[in-house]
Amino acid sequence: MRGAPDSEGVTTPPETRIFYPAGWYNPRPTVTPGEDPVEEPSTNFTQENLSPFTDYEFRVTAMNQAGTGLSEWASVTTLEAFPLSMSSPIVVGISSTDLNVSWIPPSRDQARGAIIQYTLYQFLQSLDPFAPPESTQLIYAGPGYVTNFIVTNLEPYSSHEFAVEACNSVGCVTSARGSGNTLPDAPENQEAPSADGYNVTSIRASWLPPTIQNGPLASYNLQRMEASLNSPPPVVEMGSRFSGGGYYKFTGSLIPTSAYTGIELEFRIGRPTPYSQPVSALLLFAVSRDEQAEYIVIQLRDGRPWFLFDPQGGAVGVTPTNDGGRVYDDNTWHHLKVTRDGARGYITVDQIYTGTALSSTSSTIIGISDSVFIGGLPNDFNIIRTDTGDTEVVKSSLVGCIKNIQIEQQHVPTEVWQALDWSDAIETYQVVPTWEGCPTNLDTGVHFLGGGKIIKL
Q: What are the pLDDT digits (tens) for 126-145?
A: 888 888 899 999 999 999 99
pLDDT of residue 447: 62
pLDDT of residue 28: 67
Residue type for position 423: S
Give yes or no for a contact between 334 and 266, defined as CB atoms under 8 angstroms apart.
Answer: yes
Residue type for position 20: Y
pLDDT of residue 194: 85
Give yes or no for a contact between 358 and 276, defined as CB atoms under 8 angstroms apart.
Answer: no
What is the three-class DSSP state of 264? strand
User: Using CA atoms, how far apart are residues 103 and 146, in angstroms rounded to an integer?
Assistant: 9
Strands 304-310 and 148-151, sheet pairing: unpaired
User: Using CA atoms, how far apart are residues 196 and 436, in angstroms rounded to an integer?
Assistant: 8
323 phi/psi in degrees, rounded to 5: -110, 10
Q: Kind and range of the H or E element at 123?
A: strand 117-125
User: Using CA atoms, how far apart are residues 427 and 254, in angstroms rounded to an integer?
Assistant: 14
Q: What are the pLDDT digits (tens) for 52-104?
A: 988 999 999 888 888 888 999 999 999 999 999 999 999 999 999 999 999 99
User: Using CA atoms, how far apart are residues 359 and 223, in angstroms rounded to an integer?
Assistant: 55
- Going from the C-alpha of 299 to that of each of 31, 321, 405, the distances in angstroms are 139, 16, 14
pLDDT of residue 202: 83
Which of 48, 52, 174, 147 lies closest to 109 in space, CA to CA? 52
Give yes or no for a contact between 347 and 318, defined as CB atoms under 8 angstroms apart.
Answer: yes
Residue type for position 199: N
214 phi/psi in degrees, rounded to 5: 55, 25
Q: Strands, DSSP E only, in 128-192?
A: 134-143, 148-151, 159-167, 172-174, 178-181
The angle formed by the CA atoms of residues 378, 383 and 384, to the nearest 5 degrees, is 155
Residue 231 burial class via C-beta count within 10 angstroms: exposed 0-12, middle 13-18, buried 19 and up? exposed
What is the three-class DSSP state of 57? strand
pLDDT of residue 457: 59
What residues of the chain score a pLDDT lower than 70?
Answer: 27-37, 197, 200, 227-234, 435, 441-457
Q: Kind and range of the H or E element at 111?
A: helix 108-111
Contacts of 368 (CB under 8 A, 6+ apart): 252, 253, 257, 288
User: Using CA atoms, how far apart are residues 428 and 423, in angstroms rounded to an integer?
Assistant: 10
